[in-house]
Chain A
Amino acid sequence: MFNSYKENTLKYDPEECINCGMCSKVCPHGVFAKGEKAAVLVNKEACMECGACFLNCPTEAIEVDSGVGCASAMIRAALTGSKEVTCDSGSADADKPLEAPACGRNDKT
């Protein structure tokens, strides 16, 4: 009840894993842990679909449909009919940057 975050698009195939340890290193939410022979998916529900593990997995053992979980960006995309679901902080046109929205991700390192 009242939890829309139980499921996500993360898929992991231990058969493909070569135990390089990269996924457990890059995940900011401890979704993967280093195992003896292969990485272990320990907390799938905590996945925020940032895509870091997928991008840094050399064997395609991990798959995730990555994107930014931002309601205002998604509502705006739905209203304007644009497909691109991302925040408008920094448009592609460097000369004409849009005012960035309030974003908590906007102050890490």
Chain B
Amino acid sequence: MAENISVTESQVTTATSTITFKNRLDHFLARWGYRRAYHRVEPGLYALGKPTPDSPVFVTANYTLSFDALRSNLKGVDCYILVLDTMGINVWCAAGKGTFGTEELMNRIKATGLENVVSHRKMTLPQLGAAGVSAFSLKEWCGWQVEYGPVRAEDLPEYLKTHKATPEMRRVRFGLWDRIVLIPVELVASFFIYAVVAVLLYLLMGPMAALAATVAFLAGTALFPALLPWLPTKDFSTKGFILGFILMLPFAAYVYLGEGTPVVKGLAILSYMLTWPPVIAFMTLNFTGSTTFTSRTGVRKEIFRYIPFMAGMFVLGVLANVILEAARLMKVI
């Protein structure tokens, strides 16, 4: 009887740290939400440079932005990259839902035959992967030791010199640029509903109403992300209300300085001030999911606190408008 030795086949794909024009185009399209779930890398094991069995192993998600951030920051490092199947989702989001998790990591180690490729049992994970991976469980289950690297791949070259992360490397940031890159996806996400509302308002009520809708759309999708830390109060809803009131003031001034009886002017001003701030506040509350710091407990509290208020205000604003238009039609005032 012949001996049957089963050896796991190890499949290693070659990767480079170069970001090509095609990669950049892919990143650009991802930022604009084009086929958002399909910016994927094949899960598996990749070799960067000329790795040996002693070379380090880095782990990432199969989202192109994640994989490209990692490999481009490992220029000149001979290593292996283990890509987990997170269904095209970045490390942090995938960790939050468990797809970048202990189980997938363990299965991927086995499936790729990584244990036949390297002689050691150490791997470096991005810090944000910790929300899905239990380092001590992995060690217990299959002997692999996890080292949590910095939050951002761009800090890897510095980190790899000492394998010690500075407190700055361990903190997640949400700076102006981090927020600005989100604007395209926000614009795309609400554009359709905005276009329908704006056209309807233009036909029913004229250019000023359509302009107000445009201001609200741009405020909720672009202005708010950019201004986030500078708007007063901590709650996103109140930040949105404040931004909305400020942006509707010019419309109120336009009505005030225009033609009409005090009643007509009053109703028109009420309509602007009551209708649009809650719409903007609702959009800004929805931006919580795009930020890096809001807790579920807090967001839930915001929903219960402000949504009824938003709905009430919006209904009153629409009512003021309906009364105004009806009165105009019937030429009562």
User: Which residues does A use to contact B, with CB under 8 Å?
Assistant: 1-5, 7-9, 22, 25-30, 46-52, 55-56, 58, 65-75, 78, 85-87, 89-91, 94, 97-109
Q: Which residues of B contact A4 (CB under 8 A)?
A: 234-235, 298-299, 301-302, 305
Comparing B168-176, B193-201, B263-271, the segment that makes contact with chain A is B168-176
A-B contact pairs, 18 of them (CB 8 A): A4-B298, A5-B234, A8-B295, A25-B165, A28-B151, A48-B295, A49-B297, A50-B92, A58-B136, A70-B288, A90-B37, A90-B86, A97-B87, A100-B36, A102-B186, A103-B185, A106-B65, A109-B152
> Interface residues of B toward A: which range?
35 or more
Is the beta-carbon distance between A66 and B131 smaller than 8 angstroms?
Answer: yes
How many angstroms between the C-alpha atoms of A29 and B170 in the bound complex? 8
B153 within 8 A of A: yes
B112 within 8 A of A: no
Is the beta-carbon distance between B289 and A87 smaller than 8 angstroms?
Answer: yes
Proximity bits, B250-262, A CB within 8 Å = 1, else 0: 0000000000000
B179 within 8 A of A: yes
Partner of B238, one of A2, A8, A74: A2
Q: How many A-B residue pairs have CB under 8 A?
A: 223
Q: Which residues of A contact B235 (CB under 8 A)?
A: 2-5
B133 within 8 A of A: yes
For the complex of A and B, the 5 pairs showing the least CB-CB separation, nearest first, are A70-B289, A97-B37, A69-B294, A5-B298, A67-B296
Partner of B292, one of A25, A78, A98, A104: A104
Assess A90 versus B131: contact at CB under 8 Å? Given A4-B298, A28-B171: no
